[in-house]
Structure 1
């Protein structure tokens, strides 16, 4: 009889474990289809392969900037925090994955009791499986899928942080360069204004002109001095921002003290097709992982409608005499399932399913919006790119015209033909046009950086580097059902 019960008990245990391993039927429903409704091409023409395929070391032409970017990727605190978030999500996924396996622990106890026949001591030692859930309905696996998608979303968020950081550092580096260029222009203007002031003062002192031109020249001098002080402040602030983004003091040898004329080695910047944004932009990929995680939550919520079946087992030795604990005949074992099914929960489980389904719709909306936002960012950058060349050409012609006007007006003033007011007006116009040209040149270079960033460039250091994208739990599910 004992053998029969022993065989039956082993059969139950083995069958239960087999069912637990073979079951795990996912309860998640069909995955929603995203409808981003974006055109198949960009509004502005930008033919050729997307520059996002290039590594940042190949895209950027100035090696000083490349070295600054390397420093930023190694020391930036935001990027470091993003990497730590990945580690945290990875450990959380490992914990959730471990829940699919039984927890085995060792135990031992000594029990002293008196049941009317005299006090008796019982010794126990053994191994046990504590409340191992048999995942018939896929609840634990759905939670594991959710944790996996959350981990992958965090990893994609880190990539998005890197892309944003590369764009910010490049533009801050350019900002420092052009702040110095504006400071140099203001210094040159101040020197010219001082010469005009001294000339007008001499003319006033000998009685040729009135005091009005002297004061007009003085106004221009003080205005130029104010600009010099302002640009010195901008240079210092630009350097402070660059140091903050890099995470340490940027060496002076890596700073661009002169105006940068070229930021990339590309003669033309291709954008590829809008569909490529789905693979190149990690922020879109992160939204897709979050959508998949929401679907896994639905599966976990639906599984709670069904009974929770757990298995508890133990094996070890028991004896009333410590010396006989490990002798033959002292081995004992036990295994038994438990079931938990709430009968009345006042609709709580159904409400949780509705919440999970609503969360999935929110995630779907966020995913579609991330695609639309990325498309709009690229289109905005391309719109600037389409017209920046004409604006630069016009501004350069304007600078030539205003400089010539200033030289002619100054010559006529010195010859006594025109008043100083004409010179003053021409000088102000020339100075403003020079400032406008610097702003446009900086905007042109910033736009190239912005386009590279919005297309998803910056994840790779070198173009030859491979970028592997892990499939979400929804994609894994679709692959297994084909």
Structure 2
């Protein structure tokens, strides 16, 4: 038996492999990101910040922590990764011989006519029958396949790479959860600040309406101007109602995104214009996407698993060698069951070769090759998608700052115009229409500043996600 085990291990370690060598396709993207005039090229080599450093708003950081603990999608991804790990253990077990200990007792009786035939007795002679018991104890080797052509090794490799793909999928879901929380939080902050701006504007326009009514009583304003002021207030009241609805809906969306009710002890919010979120991120080179982005890493692991499936399908065309054996003791008395004379063993090698399977093996191989081709296309598409998202993020980074600065300057000009128009109206130098136009222009400019700031922050978060976020790959053992 020792020689048999040694032979089996030798054959397993020297088995050939039918898995084709995998050469990853070249990345179907340009060698560099687009560079916008005045921004300079991407800063290669700079590490991305951790999400807590990237999103430094304490209120936002608290919400992200809650989401990472309670989000159902992330919980499902973690369970899927654990399931893939368990499947890997199950698959690897097929590479090892299965040993089991067995013990038993059998009691039986045979009639003399049957039992005597084996010992030269004639029917009717001797006792009427034989009754005896037997004790057995043995270690048995279950049917163990010697992997001559690498079929089991290929299946092990496929399971291993699918487990790695599940880890990357879990990381992708985690990054998506963070990105979703940031987007929803920024929308909630925009709705809250737009509501505050609408309420402040409504108060100013009510004061303007009161002034117009007093001027009318003094004979310095007409009924048309009073109607214009009242219509302006009505419009502001309608805008406040709209902003209240948007604020409550954004709060509901935020609670849904984090997967739990909003706690009452959240840190106070930071205004959008004062958000400490980083907007200048180093993109590095396009090749960094292959190691940074979890979706690309997942697609690569899926490709490697599909390539290993081809090896398993090829090996199925060749014969399989399996071993079954047992070594133990058998005795009619329990006291002497382990005596040397009571040893018993069996050894049964078996070879099976496919002859006719109705095209099943060929179909399985063709299917494995087609799935590998799909995995190649998926891998290339993931790279192209990542490149485009980063390129869009870089364009946004290069233009939002200028747009925001110009809009803030325009809002300041609109503020001065509205103040001058109010002074002129009080002095009777200009009509109500000029003041109305100046107030509306100021309100629109202030809203535009808030919207573009939200878009700038959302663009920075999108670029952070497109670059794959900060990540340290875990150590894995094959």
Q: Does 1:30 align with 2:21?
A: yes
Give the aligned partner of residue 256 of structure 1.
269
Q: How does 1:326-475 map to 2 (within 5 A)?
A: 326-459=338-471, 466-468=472-474, 470=476
Which segment is superposed worse, 51-60 or 419-428?
51-60
Deviation sequence 1:364-423 (CA, Å, 0-9, x none):
110011011000000001111111122122212221232233223333333334332232
Which segment is superposed worse, 319-328 or 150-159?
319-328
Deviation sequence 1:337-366 (CA, Å, 0-9, x none):
112222111221011111101100100110
1:89 Cα deviation from its structure 2 partner? 1.1
1:203 Cα deviation from its structure 2 partner? 4.1
CA distance in 1, matches of 2:188, 2:96: 56
Matched residues, number:
456
Q: CA RMSD in A?
A: 2.5
What's the TM-score, normalizing by structure 1?
A: 0.87
Deviation sequence 1:169-195 (CA, Å, 0-9, x none):
233333333322212211111001111
**Structure 2 residue corresponding to 1:19, chosen from 3, 10, 17:** 10
Which segment is superposed worse, 37-46 or 48-57?
48-57
Deviation sequence 1:62-115 (CA, Å, 0-9, x none):
344444433433333322322222211111111111111111123345263633
Residues 41 and 32 of structure 1: is their aligned pair in 2 closer, same or farther, counting only changes over 3 Å? same
Q: Does 1:39 align with 2:47?
A: no
CA distance in 2, matches of 1:25, 1:404: 82
1:305 Cα deviation from its structure 2 partner? 0.3
**Structure 1 residue corresponding to 2:90, chosen from 66, 84, 95:** 95
Q: How does 1:177-256 map to 2 (within 5 A)?
A: 177-204=189-216, 208-248=220-260, 249-256=262-269
Give the aligned partner of residue 69 of structure 2.
74
| SS of aligned partner of 2:341 | coil
CA contact (8 A) 1:55 1:458 kept: yes
Gapped regions of structure 1 (runs ≥ 5): 1-8, 460-465, 474-482
1:265 Cα deviation from its structure 2 partner? 5.4
Give the aligned partner of residue 125 of structure 2.
none
CA contact (8 A) 1:291 1:360 kept: yes
Which segment is superposed worse, 379-388 or 168-177?
168-177
Larger Rg: 2
CA distance in 2, matches of 1:119, 1:322: 19
Residues 432 and 50 of structure 1: is their aligned pair in 2 closer, same or farther, counting only changes over 3 Å? farther
CA contact (8 A) 2:51 2:470 kept: yes
Which segment is superposed worse, 337-346 or 185-194?
337-346
Q: How does 1:83-162 map to 2 (within 5 A)?
A: 83-109=78-104, 110=106, 112=108, 114=110, 115-117=114-116, 118-121=129-132, 123=134, 124-162=136-174
CA distance in 2, matches of 1:385, 1:46: 12
